[in-house]
Structure 1
Amino acid sequence: MPTAPEPEPEPGEDDLHALAPPPQPVFHVEQALLGALLLDPHRLGDVPGIGADSFSTAAHAALFSAISTLPPPDPDEHAKNTKWLDHVLTTARGKARALTAPYLHTLVQVCPWPRHAPAYARMVEAEHARRRLHRAAEHLVQTVNDASLPYPVQPALDKADALAALVDDIASRFPPRAGVLPRTPAPPPATPPDQTEAIEEEQLLLATATAHPADIVSIGWLLPDDLTLPLHAGLWQCLTALARRDEPIDPVTVLWEAQQRGLLDAGDEPREVLRLLAEPAGSVEYWAERALQRSLLSTAEHTGRHIGAYADDPANTPFQLVVGARRSLADINAIRTRWQHATGATPPQRRRPAATTRAGPPTTTVAYAARPTRATR
């Protein structure tokens, strides 16, 4: 078994900081995996599911990149000298200057069992999946809140599609297991933006729909929950109910319907409701589409934040992340369908991956071929 290369001068304080272990357990898992590969380079073929970008630090990524690109050494020669380890260190230092021979010695020492490399790699792959999911969810939230985008809906939907594709990829790498949804609590509500514009536009929607009731039926894609205020949602329910029953619609009949539904119990003055419904402007379809757009973006932001919370919880397995993320993404898909109906947009055809075989092994379990297949459900 080879020993580590000869010690070099100690690195400076900044270099040591680059190698300091972060609090995440995966750092130690990565050390064990790299130590196994330094001891037994032939085990690289047992860990096909990971790459340099799977590692949490630049130093570890550089080491894995060097190990995976350099020709493997002759086993007998590797057991006698450190020539190959010297090549690994020299190559890796091109990307991570902080790496030293003593650190490679540390990696070799902390590896409990080199034959457990596939298990270590599976853990690294799982943590990488968590980080990828968190980044994709964060990109979705950032896109929703990007004030520089004049038409934010399609960019947000594109980010949602990218997030869904990533979830599919994670699902293909990790077979289903018996389990439950993530128990991660929902994140607290985001700080609400200034709703002045939304409230004014919803008032115009309600007043214009009251003045032009024939247009209400054509916008069945707008739901009460798309509106920001409970009173506005209730008044929209009143309007759609009166339209379905083909009853007269004007401010007075809507006010009476609101009373029958208990909307005025919250203290809203009848005179204020009548005033709100008596100031139409523009078209019903325009204001309804504006309301639906806000609802879609709000749903996308909530979905991104919820999936981000799942990914931040280390107690969630990759399969739990998949199940939770897909449930959250279903909310976007539902409102996307209504948006496409409202705007006449053609839904993109996203190719779904083949179904994961329920008994299929993870991508990093090649070395376990001689063992009985583990039950996955």
Structure 2
Amino acid sequence: MPSSPELDENDLDTIPPPQPVFHAEQALLGALLLDPHRLGDVTGISADSFSTAAHAALFAAISTVPPPDPAEHANTTWLNKVLAKGREQNRGLTVSYLHDLIQVCPWSRHAPAYARMVEAEHARRRIRAGAEQLVQSAHDVSLPHPVQTVLDEADALAMVVDDIAARFPPRAGVLPRTAAPPPAIAPDHTEAVQEEQLLLATATAHPADMESVQWLFPDDFTLPLHAGLWQCLATLTRRREPADPVTVLWEAQQRGLLDDGSDPGEVLRLLAEPVGSVEHWGQRALQRSLLATADNTGRRIEAYVRDLANTPFQLVVGARRSLADISSIRTRWQRATGTVPPQRPRPAHTTRAGPPTTTAAHTARSVRATR
């Protein structure tokens, strides 16, 4: 049996250093091990908020084992109970690591600040997971109902963002740093191009049916030429002018669509082979556009998340703005398919806390108002 490869000292250089949140987690756990009573000052996090299984197990143990007498700091008996409880979930916990955590904690009274850092990074991971799931669904060709699945994933991500916004209310004017998403793998547009050609030809043969697909926009097409020809058709039908391959070609010339060297004969042939219905091909184009929008939205949010300089406040603003693109095309999809599902409940708008309003204050204002 071949022996397992040993880790060379030079290999240690390839291991990335821990992120700042790892040190924040250590400081928080050290503070709670040193002063267990400070657990009451820690809000907004749970065991799932930690980035490692060991830290999650230890926080769960600290939250479960009854603390020692409030007048005392942590004692050996309590630490042993915490270690035993933590090892039920993670056998890697040791006495020495608990002591290391206590040693690396700068100030136990800063526990709420450390917890806020842990919560912020957990929010980042939650948004990233939702965005990744959205992108994956947009590319999953095995889905029986791809549009509905993608919209469900978008709703799930929006709910995560709303939940985070309740703890990190977005601030006016605080936008995420602009970060262009990495280039996606170029999709195979062969099928899309063929279906768009059939849509254009069928609409040219039945221009009256253009009225029934007003939910389809030029931006939904994959090729600029196809988008331009669709605008030509829409213009002719709006003017109530004759629409056929020749009139569409002439309109295309007036708009400069043939300046890129497109062969007029090819355009005529493209527009002369109608098949099926305008509405059918229009829905196909809109579905493809919706999935592409979801992909772009997810990758844009992923780019925001990867930039560690973006705060949770900025991530909330950026994610909401990106998801608005899906909301817009969702409305058009519902018009196209005649499906309007019930709206999901949205939490109340979060505002900054103001001065307390008391019954006495209301009464005083009422009295002044009647004088």
Partner in structure 1 of residue 57 of structure 2: 62
Partner in structure 2 of residue 115 of structure 1: 109
1:98 aligns with 2:111: no
Q: SS of the counterpart of 2:258? A: helix
1:148 Cα offset (Å): 1.3
Question: For residues 45 and 212 of structure 1, what CA distance do their matches in structure 2 show?
Answer: 70
Question: For residues 48 and 75 of structure 1, what CA distance do their matches in structure 2 show?
Answer: 19
1:194 Cα offset (Å): 1.1
Question: For residues 144 and 232 of structure 2, what CA distance do their matches in structure 1 show?
Answer: 33
Question: For residues 55 and 184 of structure 1, what CA distance do their matches in structure 2 show?
Answer: 28
Partner in structure 2 of residue 349 of structure 1: 343
Question: For residues 91 and 184 of structure 1, what CA distance do their matches in structure 2 show?
Answer: 45
Q: SS of the counterpart of 1:263? A: coil
Question: For residues 67 and 238 of structure 1, what CA distance do their matches in structure 2 show?
Answer: 68
Partner in structure 2 of residue 191 of structure 1: 185
Distance 1:226 1:21, change over 3 A: closer
Partner in structure 2 of residue 316 of structure 1: 310
TM-score, normalised with respect to structure 1: 0.88
Q: Report the aligned-residue RMSD.
A: 1.7
Q: SS of the counterpart of 1:258? A: helix
Question: For residues 266 and 306 of structure 1, what CA distance do their matches in structure 2 show?
Answer: 31
Q: SS of the counterpart of 2:259? A: helix
Question: Could you tell me which amino acid in structure 2 is paired with residue 53 of structure 1?
Answer: D
Q: SS of the counterpart of 1:38? A: helix
Partner in structure 2 of residue 44 of structure 1: 39
Partner in structure 2 of residue 5 of structure 1: none
Partner in structure 1 of residue 359 of structure 2: none
Q: Which of 72, 77, 100 is the equivalent residue of 2:67?
A: 72
Partner in structure 2 of residue 334 of structure 1: 328
Gaps in structure 1 of 5+ consecutive residues: 1-12, 361-377
Q: SS of the counterpart of 1:264? A: coil
Partner in structure 2 of residue 285 of structure 1: 279
1:76 Cα offset (Å): 4.6
Question: Could you tell me which amino acid in structure 1 is paired with residue 152 of structure 2?
Answer: D
TM-score, normalised with respect to structure 2: 0.89
1:163-312 mapped onto 2 (5 Å cutoff): 163-177=157-171, 179-312=173-306
1:184 Cα offset (Å): 3.6
CA-to-aligned-CA distance 1:298-327 (integer Å, 9 cap, x gap): 000110111111111110011100000011
Partner in structure 2 of residue 364 of structure 1: none
Partner in structure 1 of residue 127 of structure 2: 133
Distance 1:253 1:156, change over 3 A: same
CA-to-aligned-CA distance 1:38-97 (integer Å, 9 cap, x gap): 011111111121000000000000000000011111145545x31000000011011111
Question: For residues 357 and 327 of structure 1, what CA distance do their matches in structure 2 show?
Answer: 18
Question: Could you tell me which amino acid in structure 1 is paired with residue 36 of structure 2?
Answer: P
Contact 2:170 2:316 (C-alpha < 8 Å) held by counterparts: no
Partner in structure 2 of residue 365 of structure 1: none
% identity of equivalent residues = 77
Distance 1:232 1:126, change over 3 A: same
1:24 aligns with 2:6: no
Q: How many residues align?
A: 343
Question: For residues 219 and 273 of structure 1, what CA distance do their matches in structure 2 show?
Answer: 22
1:179 Cα offset (Å): 4.7
- More displaced, 305-314 or 250-259? 305-314
Q: SS of the counterpart of 1:216? A: helix
Question: For residues 114 and 92 of structure 2, what CA distance do their matches in structure 1 show?
Answer: 24
